[in-house]
Amino acid sequence: MKLKISIFFFFAVIIIIGAPPVVEHPAEDKAQTTPQDPQGSDDVLDNLEYGRYLKEVVEILESDPEFKKKIENASLDDIKSGNIAEHLSLVQHHIRTQLDEAKQREMIRLRELVGQRARNLSDKQRAALARSDAGGKLTRELLPQHIDHKNVETFGQTDLERLIRHASRDLDELDRKREKEFKEYEMQKEYERRAELAKLSPEERQKIEATHAEALEKKKHHPKVNHPGSVDQIEKVWEDVDKLDADQFSPKSFFNLHDINTDGFLDEAEIEAIMLKEAEKVHEGTPEADPVEKQEELDRMRQHVLTEFDKNADRMLSLEEFLVGINGTGAKNDQGWQSIEDSTVFSDQDFNKFSEKMAPVSTSIPIHQTPSLPNNQQVPIHPEAAVERPAAGQQQIHIPRAPPAVNNP
């Protein structure tokens, strides 16, 4: 019986995803399209399971002059909603052929992927699906939804709509995930700092807290950071990084100079390189600068520039987008820039919830020995809030639940 269910389920999945037409020379057409390992890659699209396919479709569409013009004139909402797909009929015949072939390769990849997913299901999962999935609804949930499975032969409007919508959603989710991970990193960092303080005498804690507060205040008085993507910021890179004469500044020349791989676009890594000098200002003069915080500053600047400049939402800047962007209302230097050090990464409530996830333990440190804040203000430690630092052999300690020092405005 188990064997029958397994065979039924496996073939149901394969039938739904379909067998795409054979590409005449797949090895010759796309011998280099095997996805690279996302680790070590600066391209955020490589973090998407279908990132290679997405980049291939974007490159094909942008090679069509008429469709590229439609993209450049479309609103961000029209692009992210997938409405831009209505103009797919405008692309030239050879472009449609390239899109068809790209989809066929993707269908082959997905057929192998879904087959593997089906084989990884337990007998219980297969049995449940076989009993309750007569209409195929649950089976279809195993299929990646960035492609139109009903049409296995050609790349149509539905394919483009689905690809754009899913990419927009998934890329936004990647940004949210990055921000969440950074927030948790900062809370863990503060948690461990307090753990170290809790092992010290009141006098030692007061001295270290004063030094910490002084360092935080110093970081807030960093040199002025130019608004990312503003003419002032771009000209500063031209003069101080590229070592070129200010009187000879040309936006087009700047673009070509920083298009390192000469593909006609500024990708995310190239944009971050342009933002590097501004991000370094935030940590200027602080030898204890945290590389994770510096990278987060770069990520935020890059994300901001793409939001302001990237009209077609392909996570790259064309020359036209760059020229329009640096002269746009969203790239004025007088807007300034709010760095990580100028903002609150997590709230008191966030930190307390984070601390409560740690297992409560007793402590040998007297309850009155609490970390102190500037101006000799004592931070109360509550016995019920005692938690331990997650390290083997660590001394039992109390971690205060007072407002984290990093959040002082």
For residue 397, pLDDT over 50 is answered with no
Q: What local confidence, expressed as pLDDT, does residue 118 receive?
A: 74
Give the chain's length. Answer: 409
Residue 308 lies in a domain: yes
Query: Strands, E, within 54-151: which ranges?
Result: none
- In this structure, which amino acid lies at residue 111? R
Q: Name the domain boundary from 118, 150, 165.
A: 165
- Residue closest to 56 by CA, chosen among 120, 9, 105, 16: 105
**CATH number of the structural domain spanning residue 261:** 1.10.238.10
Give me the amino acid identity at 68. K
User: How sure is the predictor about 355, in pLDDT bands with cuts at 50, 70 and 90?
Assistant: confident
Confidence of residue 326 (pLDDT cuts 50, 70, 90): confident
Local confidence band at 140 (pLDDT 50, 70, 90 cut-offs) = low
Tell whether 243 and 149 lie within a shared domain: no
Distance CA 79, CA 17 (A): 27
Averaged pLDDT for residues 165-179: 85
On whether residue 284 sits in a domain, the answer given is yes
Q: At what angle do helices 2-17 and 93-120 cross, to 10 degrees?
A: 170
On whether residue 70 sits in a domain, the answer given is yes
157 and 258, same domain (yes or no): no
Across residues 366-395, what is the average pLDDT?
A: 42
Rg over CA atoms, the chain: 27
Q: Quick one: average pLDDT of 5-16?
A: 38
Q: 77 and 161: one domain?
A: yes
The b/e string for 113-123 (b: 16+ C-beta within 10 A; e otherwise) is bbeeebeebee
Q: For 167, what's the count of Cα atoms within 13 Å in the CB-facing half-sphere? A: 25
Total of domains in the chain: 2
Higher pLDDT among residues 244 and 18, named by residue: 244
Confidence band, pLDDT 50/70/90 cuts, at residue 287: low
Are the C-beta atoms of 147 and 110 separated by less than 8 Å?
yes
The verdict on residue 234 lying in a domain is yes
CA distance 407 to 187: 11
Residue 99 domain-assigned (yes or no): yes
Domain boundary among the residues 118, 143, 165 is at 165
Answer yes or no: is 227 within a domain.
yes
Distance CA 339, CA 98 (A): 44
Which one of 54-68, 283-297, 329-343 scores highest in mean pLDDT?
A: 54-68
Of 127, 148, 165, at which residue does a domain stop? Answer: 165
Residue pLDDT, tens place only, 53-100? 988 998 898 888 888 888 777 776 777 777 788 888 888 999 999 999
Counts for the chain of helices (H) and strands (E), in that order: 16, 4
Q: How confident is the model at residue 240 (pLDDT cuts 50, 70, 90)?
A: very high
Q: Is the pLDDT of residue 278 over 80?
A: yes
Report if residue 263 sits inside a domain.
yes
Beta carbons of 68 and 61 less than 8 angstroms apart: yes
Mean pLDDT check: name the lowest of 79-83, 140-144, 189-193. Answer: 140-144
Q: Is 117 within the bounds of a domain?
A: yes
Provide mean pLDDT across the span 206-211: 89
- Domain range for residue 293? 222-338
